[in-house]
Structure 1
Amino acid sequence: MTTALLSVENLRVSFKGSDGCAPVVHDVSFDIEAGKTVAIVGESGSGKSVTSLAIMRLLQSGSAKIEGTIRFAGQDLTTLSDAGMRRIRGNEISMIFQEPMTSLNPSMTIGRQLAEVLITHHGMSQRQAEAEAVRLMDRVRIPSAAARLKDYPHRLSGGMRQRVMIAMALSCKPKLLIADEPTTALDVTIQAQILDLIRDLQREEGMSVLFITHDMGVVAEIADRTIVMLHGRIVENGATEQIFGAPQHPYTRALLAAVPRLGSMAGVSVPKKFEEIDRATGIAIVKSEEVTAKQPDPQTPPVLEVRNLSKYFDIRSGVLRKVSGRVHAVENVSFDIREGETLALVGESGCGKSTTGRAIVRLTDPSGGEIRLNGEDIVKLDENSFRSHRQRLQLIFQDPFASLNPSMRVGECIAEPMLAHDTIPRASVRARVAELLQQVGLDPATRDRFPHEFSGGQRQRISIARAISLGPKLIVADEAVSALDVSIKAQVINLMLDLQRDMGLAFLFISHDMAVVERVSHRVAVMYLGEIVEIGNRADIFGNPQHPYTKRLLSAVPVPDPARRTSRPELKVSELKSPVRPVDYVAPHRVLQEVSQGHHVQEWGAEWSNG
């Protein structure tokens, strides 16, 4: 019989409040064997992160109560002294978190932070620690590792910062690595590289991994065993192949059904609704095959026409702050969107897709090109002239909490655009706010609450209510569902599809999630380094991709099928090339060739010859 490296028995975690202790984790038990990966999957509030923090003894003793047994390598961690736990933490159990930028010290170089861990835990000299830091950075495949030692965290991409965190976690050769949502905020290609890296390092070191996520595709890629949590309890626990092949609990079945799968839209010409999950019961409540969208009429004039759009940001240096270079964030981008159509703009962070969206709604002024809204070029309009056009153009951001004023009640947030544009008599505003809240699936009685009193999904519904309050023709949704759990993501997207059907809305859907994009879009434009490298109908982009970059994005999407985890080729480690150009740089003329009706692909050079 195999002895477990980590054994958790009847773990209960409660948080102390004014009304006594509120339990959040209930009688959780599981084992992790040496060299194996166990995934805990569940949505926000399921208790999965609290479980990992309890194992690490990182919950404040004054506010949290931990009961049960946590045995690691034969020791009961719940009875260890603080000094004893410090010896375990970092040396034998390491942890990496979702957001590396908040875990790394922004005022210290990468090399110094890595060296600090080595000096503290291994008593190395500064010289030895720096040499070992380079070796560790090489190990996690950070290009030009020695040159990166003096870089600060903000100079690295999200994927490279996460590699630094993994290097730091592995510096003491732990027996167990706890990874808490380490890929959630990353682009699909970077996520694939991080998963490959963790797998390779685990193989080399014989390390165990506790992987915490809400992404079932990631679970299928990496886990030997899977634990499904709901409301602080384990509802299913078994081999990953068994969980995916024959799920027993209704919540597990609903979670798997809600996962978008590449290729599932073959033969379907319009977007589909996602399957929703009742968070109280964990049971699916909407059938995924229900079609809600219409096919846009190609004969109608476009709502939006973008021609040769460019956006550059000046880089100033020296005492006189002269322009020494420019960031070419968007370069000669062109596309149309018609009434009732969703065009998805996809690509990795830094490709220029969000800048394109912000330029279209004039939150940043374009450097060149045309943006025609219902035939009128809004780039040439001054702020006063453009004011009336803002009613027809609205933007939904990724983080609704940051875009809602925390000091205003949600009813006031929704009413503000209508009052600013004087589109409705003041006496009718309150009734209209109630109508909008009802339209996005919220109780009108909640209009007097503040944003912090709502969940993330509810706040995004409030943002949508505010966006549609002026009766827009086009909505730019900038990563509007990227930060949401699978069930909340399904609800918000289904709401957007319903509004599109009822109001004839056109959407520019900006995202890096290719599986979601396939489900919701009519057409797709793929961006790389500020340029569109491929654009066409959804079926063409997903069924017959032509550009190497498009193929790379699609190959990186995790497949929610454990049997196919070895079929994806390992991606080369690379960062998006720098968009910084000299002041006198003139962009080369790019040719987009039509390979089939409506499907255009940019010619590519030698840099893509090796994939």
Structure 2
Amino acid sequence: MSASPVLSVKNLTTSFLVDGEWKQVVRNVSFDVHPGETVAIVGESGSGKSVTSLSIMRLLSPASSRIEGEVLLSGRNLLSLPESEMRGVRGNDVSMIFQEPMTSLNPIFTIGRQISEVLTRHKGLSKQEARAETVRLLEKVRIPNASSRFDEYPHQFSGGMRQRVMIAMALASKPKLLIADEPTTALDVTIQGQILDLIKILQEEEGMSVLFITHDMGVVAEIADRTIVMYRGEQVETGPTEDIFHHGKHPYTRALLSAVPKLGSMQNHAWPTRFPVVDMATGEAAEPVEVAGTITGGKTPVLAVKNLVTRFPIRSGLLSRQTGAVHAVENVSFDLFQGETLSLVGESGCGKSTTGRSIMRLVEPTAGDIQLDGYDVRRLDQVSLRGMRKSVQMIFQDPFASLNPRMTVGTAIAEPFIKHKLGTAKQAKEKTADLLEKVGLSADMAKRYPHEFSGGQRQRIAIARALSLDPKVIVADESVSALDVSIKAQVCNLLLDLQQNLNLAFLFISHDMAVVERVSHRVAVMYLGEIVEIGPRAAVFDNPQHPYTKKLMAAVPVPDPSRRGIRRGISNDELKSPVRDMDYQPPKREYREVSAGHLVQVG
């Protein structure tokens, strides 16, 4: 390793002004990043990892923040530079890419203009030279038809392609160091795989150092030479990535690692299995416990969906005539039994969330048959629809959006019970206290408001609210995808326990293959509005048949540092569009039965 690091951080301490007092949020962080090296800072929300990167770049407001210590870039202390000099460092010597590219790209300027501006400002290139270099950069980050996409706007690019544009912009001035702050968190797993591969390839080509900030230990294993673990503003462990993974000493490091679901770890388990929970005092993990089910298989399903179709019209022109349709769900059929978890898995735009919403008639299906706990869902009037919703409840990805910020959580949980006239106000209060205890919170929390809870606690409150009507079916729509890894494990364990105790049926909608493998009895893989493979969890995961299922599994980051040099070779194709012309007739699909209940779409 080179004697002189590209970046040397010494005793970095960052404080924020809170109610007139300085509060330390990052304390005494020290590390080096050497030429060509990738260092990962890993930790969960509130650990201080992003504040560390923003402090290095001096992107925090000087009025409300104070940064102490030293940040040496090639020997020059960035913390002592005047702001005018610091502007020359940003985007030139050090570049940064963020989690959400749409917040970093200006929607009113073309992609080409935004990258060219970096080149004309930092490199002094002419307009013509900047255009040629921009096209070269877009090609370098594997954007197809780069020259024709120069004049397109950010909204014309998918999330993954926008992130590539951000990387192209970051590379424009050939920086010594790239800081990547959660650059793949918001992306689908196959797109995440492409971006990780791309960063590795570009790093080799450019000889660039990378400081990679993430909460995902699978990503850390794939990309980092060395790892810094942060917890509550402090670095609790630092070392080569292999050592951290195989000989992690701090209880928090072990907690992070044990909470990461590993694809293929369910081969010896017949039933959905709890995540191991680590004791933060000792670092010891409890053994994973199978949650034996009570599925009433051969009997009548609690939910039966046949040939479900949901399309959204596309209108254009002066008279807003329909010119096409988004074929969001196309001919989807499945059964769900009491006490069972069926997972719908696939990438953004595959139709899995629309399927869940169509079942509850939160969106109106175009065709098909939905039988739910004795209700013919598509034929219900508004009064009957309200009655049906006692049988099925939904948990969403963002609990904060589904809870009224002006309502105490006790009132929010009791509201469905009171609205459906299921009992008195006193009974509603007792029910609320019982539900809060059931989801691992205390009854006295009922008086608090949503903003007084963490994200994981808010999701527990949303689960309690969904349970207030004693439903038989719960549609969990990406209900754990926004949570930190250890909180995700806790909420998944809670759902498994509730299922066992209350005999609930879950339609679990997710894009996270490793979580799906852990919690499911059966799995349905969706692609472009259709189910392409469905079957028992073990059959689908141990013997995937459809090319798209195989592609999804190959893209999942594996928390094993020995695989760091591996390139997945995932194609750079984007998910195809479900938009169709008015006269489009979907092809008739046929399914082949591979083994008992394991069906795969043919052709």
TM-score of the two chains, using structure 2 as the length reference: 0.97
Q: Map 1:288-437 to 2 at 5 A.
A: 288-294=287-293, 296-437=295-436
Counterpart in the other structure of 1:20 = 21
The answer to whether the 8 A contact 2:197-2:567 is kept is no
Counterpart in the other structure of 1:228 = 229
Q: Give me the identity figure in percent.
A: 63
SS of 1:527 mapped into structure 2: strand
SS of 1:2 mapped into structure 2: coil
Q: 1:234 to 1:320 in 2, by over 3 A?
A: same
The whole-number CA distance in structure 2 between the counterparts of 1:180 and 1:399 is 21
Tell me whether 1:138 sits opposite 2:147 in the alignment: no
Counterpart in the other structure of 1:475 = 474
Tell me whether 1:263 sits opposite 2:234 in the alignment: no
Counterpart in the other structure of 1:609 = none
SS of 2:271 mapped into structure 1: coil
Structure 1 residue 302, shift from structure 2 partner: 0.7
The whole-number CA distance in structure 1 between the counterparts of 2:350 and 2:281 is 37
Structure 1 residue 183, shift from structure 2 partner: 0.7
The whole-number CA distance in structure 1 between the counterparts of 2:568 and 2:153 is 32
The answer to whether the 8 A contact 1:556-1:568 is kept is no
Structure 1 residue 146, shift from structure 2 partner: 2.3
Counterpart in the other structure of 2:5 = 4
The whole-number CA distance in structure 2 between the counterparts of 1:456 and 1:277 is 20
The whole-number CA distance in structure 2 between the counterparts of 1:14 and 1:289 is 40
Q: 1:282 to 1:154 in 2, by over 3 A?
A: farther
The whole-number CA distance in structure 1 between the counterparts of 2:334 and 2:284 is 37
Structure 1 stretch displaced more, 171-180 or 252-261: 252-261
Aligned partner of 1:512: which letter? H
Task: Structure 2: give runs of 5+ residues left out of the alignment.
Answer: none
Counterpart in the other structure of 1:175 = 176
Counterpart in the other structure of 1:205 = 206
Structure 1 residue 295, shift from structure 2 partner: 5.1
Structure 1 residue 419, shift from structure 2 partner: 1.8
Counterpart in the other structure of 2:503 = 504
Counterpart in the other structure of 1:452 = 451
The whole-number CA distance in structure 1 between the counterparts of 2:346 and 2:182 is 21
Structure 1 residue 394, shift from structure 2 partner: 0.7
The answer to whether the 8 A contact 2:269-2:290 is kept is no
Structure 1 stretch displaced more, 31-40 or 113-122: 113-122
Q: 1:295 to 1:512 in 2, by over 3 A?
A: same
The whole-number CA distance in structure 2 between the counterparts of 1:376 and 1:420 is 20
The answer to whether the 8 A contact 1:254-1:283 is kept is no
Task: Structure 1: give runs of 5+ residues left out of the alignment.
Answer: 605-611
Structure 1 residue 284, shift from structure 2 partner: 5.0
The answer to whether the 8 A contact 2:250-2:283 is kept is no
The whole-number CA distance in structure 1 between the counterparts of 2:18 and 2:489 is 33
Aligned partner of 1:496: which letter? L
The whole-number CA distance in structure 2 between the counterparts of 1:541 and 1:558 is 19
The whole-number CA distance in structure 1 between the counterparts of 2:118 and 2:403 is 40
Q: 1:424 to 1:382 in 2, by over 3 A?
A: same
When the two chains are superposed, the root-mean-square deviation of aligned CA atoms in Å is 1.4
The answer to whether the 8 A contact 1:272-1:289 is kept is yes
The whole-number CA distance in structure 2 between the counterparts of 1:131 and 1:400 is 46
The whole-number CA distance in structure 1 between the counterparts of 2:382 and 2:87 is 58
- 1:218-245 CA-to-partner distances (Å, cap 9, x unmatched) read 0000000011111111111111111112
The answer to whether the 8 A contact 1:399-1:480 is kept is yes
Structure 1 stretch displaced more, 55-64 or 110-119: 110-119
Structure 1 residue 568, shift from structure 2 partner: 5.4
Aligned partner of 2:406: which letter? S
SS of 2:91 mapped into structure 1: coil
Structure 1 stretch displaced more, 403-412 or 482-491: 403-412
The whole-number CA distance in structure 1 between the counterparts of 2:299 and 2:502 is 16
Counterpart in the other structure of 1:520 = 519
- 1:37-71 CA-to-partner distances (Å, cap 9, x unmatched) read 00011111111111000000011111111111110
Counterpart in the other structure of 2:464 = 465
The whole-number CA distance in structure 2 between the counterparts of 1:320 and 1:550 is 42
The whole-number CA distance in structure 1 between the counterparts of 2:242 and 2:275 is 24
- 1:105-163 CA-to-partner distances (Å, cap 9, x unmatched) read 22322222222222322233333333322221111111222232333222322111111
The whole-number CA distance in structure 2 between the counterparts of 1:413 and 1:122 is 56
Structure 1 residue 586, shift from structure 2 partner: 1.1
Tell me whether 1:571 sits opposite 2:570 in the alignment: yes
The whole-number CA distance in structure 1 between the counterparts of 2:350 and 2:195 is 20
- 1:362-394 CA-to-partner distances (Å, cap 9, x unmatched) read 110001111110243201212222110011111
Structure 1 stretch displaced more, 290-299 or 319-328: 290-299
The whole-number CA distance in structure 2 between the counterparts of 1:293 and 1:351 is 31
The whole-number CA distance in structure 2 between the counterparts of 1:289 and 1:102 is 40
Counterpart in the other structure of 1:608 = none
Structure 1 residue 34, shift from structure 2 partner: 0.5
The whole-number CA distance in structure 2 between the counterparts of 1:250 and 1:345 is 34
Structure 1 stretch displaced more, 124-133 or 38-47: 124-133
Structure 1 residue 285, shift from structure 2 partner: 7.2
The whole-number CA distance in structure 2 between the counterparts of 1:457 and 1:6 is 35
Aligned partner of 1:414: which letter? I
The total of aligned residue pairs comes to: 602
SS of 1:526 mapped into structure 2: strand
Counterpart in the other structure of 2:98 = 97
The whole-number CA distance in structure 2 between the counterparts of 1:155 and 1:469 is 43
- 1:384-440 CA-to-partner distances (Å, cap 9, x unmatched) read 221100111111111111111122221121122112211121232222212211111
The answer to whether the 8 A contact 2:5-2:35 is kept is yes
